[in-house]
Structure 1
């Protein structure tokens, strides 16, 4: 790929792992995924979130000064 992104280099996290990193509930992560705010890949009934997407989301949340409240 021209942009340097290689699928084999992507680290995927489970919803539970993302929830732990963000210190929110798994339901909050599911809401973010379904709202399109947090990109994820669906495997059957499970979702996996690229680690870089979590980092980008948190970085953007800091810049915006907004926090997710549920």
Structure 2
């Protein structure tokens, strides 16, 4: 039986404090949007999601892109 332990790589991903994706509650907190609004944006395909098992993740670049589009509309 192989009892060797594997250690996770400690490269750039571990050192980076920036999140790559947010759970729905994290996205709500980060953006200040309400739950109904966030789910409506997902349904309208204005925000992308990734399913990992039962968990729904929203890529950080999707949130940034949506917010940047709002800034462009306002200008």
Q: Give unmatched runs, 5+ long, in structure 2.
A: 1-12, 14-18
User: Which residue, out of 34, 38, 42, partners 2:51?
Assistant: 42
CA offset digits 1:32-53 (Å, max 9, x no partner): 1111011111234431000111
Q: Give unmatched runs, 5+ long, in structure 1.
A: 1-7, 66-70
CA distance in 2 between counterparts of 1:30 and 1:46 reads 14
Measured on the aligned residues, the alpha-carbon RMSD in Å equals 1.8
Normalization by structure 1: what TM-score?
A: 0.68
Normalization by structure 2: what TM-score?
A: 0.64
What corresponds to 1:26 in structure 2?
35
Instruction: Decide which structure has the larger Cα Rg and report it.
Output: 2
